[in-house]
Amino acid sequence: INSYPQSPFVPFALYGAGWADLQAKRFAEASVSFATLLEKHPESTLKLDATLAKASAERQAGKPDAALADLEAALKSELPPE
């Protein structure tokens, strides 16, 4: 990710890193990966999935208010094109 920040694969790498952290129960790190994807790649087709995964990470990190905010954002977001 750091070596090729302009690569079109960066959103996928961030998403994968987030899920790897979730599986390892590193919820704060997972949340950061998903948040970075959402902040730096708002047009990504992974936007909705990353928002929901971030909500899961926040909930498991004991941050229910942040998780709820993520879920509300997911409900308000547009679905990516198919």
Tens of pLDDT along 1-30? 888 988 999 999 999 999 999 999 999 999
**In the predicted model, what is the mean pLDDT of residues 24-50?**
95
Distance of CA 57 to the CA centre of its chain: 9
pTM for the model stands at: 0.90
Whole-angstrom Cα distance, residue 49 to residue 5?
A: 21
Cα(34)–Cα(15) distance, integer angstroms: 6
pLDDT category of residue 65 using cuts at 50, 70 and 90: very high
d(CA 50, CA 56): 10
Closest CA to 58 of 35, 41, 24: 35
